[in-house]
């Protein structure tokens, strides 16, 4: 069936408008992904730097304090400077108030674990998505955090955690579930979130 010229023109304009909107949305998501990746790199680098400095200066016991106070301050400063919510989350958070993964983050973390067990490199584990939530529509990004050798002083198994660190963890985090890790495992992820303005 052939459309009358006026209806054909209207349909064409609508189709072009939809395609143009999709292109703009794709470009916005790509820009967000680039900024989120930079923010993730920034928080990981700054937190790691603080922890390494403290471990070299005073040992792992004081590193627990750095994680408890400095890491949230770093995340907050990066969030303020970027206009995005930047945080670290885990399926086994040490600080449940700050590190508890929401439903979307839990799904992504479980997917990261599956991808890791399938042989994918942990450095490549990231995802970006547009997510519709009750509070609105958001661009969301996550990048995996790997357990490395220095992490084991506070997140390892058995004898890897000294009695002093164990006592400090019990004092600071009485309900801690963030131990028992091995090098190369998924510790959690950096999560970045920004509202989509329409």
* Spatial distance between the Cα atoms of 17 and 37, rounded to a whole number of angstroms: 30
DSSP letter assigned to residue 4:
P
Q: Render pLDDT for 65-121 as a digit per residue (tens, 0 to 9).
A: 888 889 999 999 999 999 999 999 999 999 988 899 999 999 999 999 999 999 999
Extract the tokens encoding 74.
């770093």
Q: Is the pLDDT of residue 12 over 50?
A: no
| 112 contact partners, CB below 8 Å, separation of at least 6 | 125, 142, 144, 186, 189
Which secondary-structure segment (H or E) carries 26? Answer: helix 5-58
| pLDDT at 7 > cutoff 80 | no
On the question of pLDDT at 23 being above 50, the answer is: yes
Asked if 125 and 143 touch (Cβ cutoff 8 Å), the reply is yes
For tokens 């400090």, name the residue.
168
Instruction: Return the structure tokens found at 148.
Output: 């490395």
pLDDT given at position 17: 47
C-alpha–C-alpha distance, residues 39 and 191, integer Å: 10
Structure confidence at residue 6 (pLDDT): 58
**In the block, residue with structure tokens 């922890």:** 51
| pLDDT score recorded for residue 20 | 46
Residue 127: which H helix or E strand, with range? strand 126-133
Partners of 127 in the beta sheet?
Answer: 142
Confidence of residue 5 (pLDDT cuts 50, 70, 90): low
């Amino acid at each position: 069936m052939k459309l009358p010229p006026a209806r054909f023109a209207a349909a064409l304009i609508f189709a072009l408008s939809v395609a143009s909107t999709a292109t703009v949305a794709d470009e916005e998501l790509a820009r967000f992904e680039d900024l989120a990746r930079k923010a993730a790199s920034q928080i990981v680098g700054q937190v790691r730097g603080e922890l390494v400095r403290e471990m070299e200066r005073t040992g792992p016991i004081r590193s627990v304090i750095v994680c408890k106070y400095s890491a949230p301050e770093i995340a907050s400063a990066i969030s303020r400077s970027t206009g995005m919510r930047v945080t670290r989350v885990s399926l086994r958070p040490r600080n449940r108030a700050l590190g508890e993964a929401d439903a979307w983050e839990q799904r992504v973390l479980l997917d990261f674990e599956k991808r890791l067990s399938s042989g994918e490199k942990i450095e490549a584990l990231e995802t970006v998505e547009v997510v519709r939530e009750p509070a609105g529509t958001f661009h969301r990004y996550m990048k995996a955090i790997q357990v490395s050798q220095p992490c084991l002083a506070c997140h390892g198994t058995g004898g890897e955690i000294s009695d002093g660190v164990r006592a400090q963890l019990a004092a600071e985090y009485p309900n801690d579930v963030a131990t028992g890790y091995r090098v190369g495992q998924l510790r959690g992820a950096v999560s970045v979130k920004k509202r989509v303005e329409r």
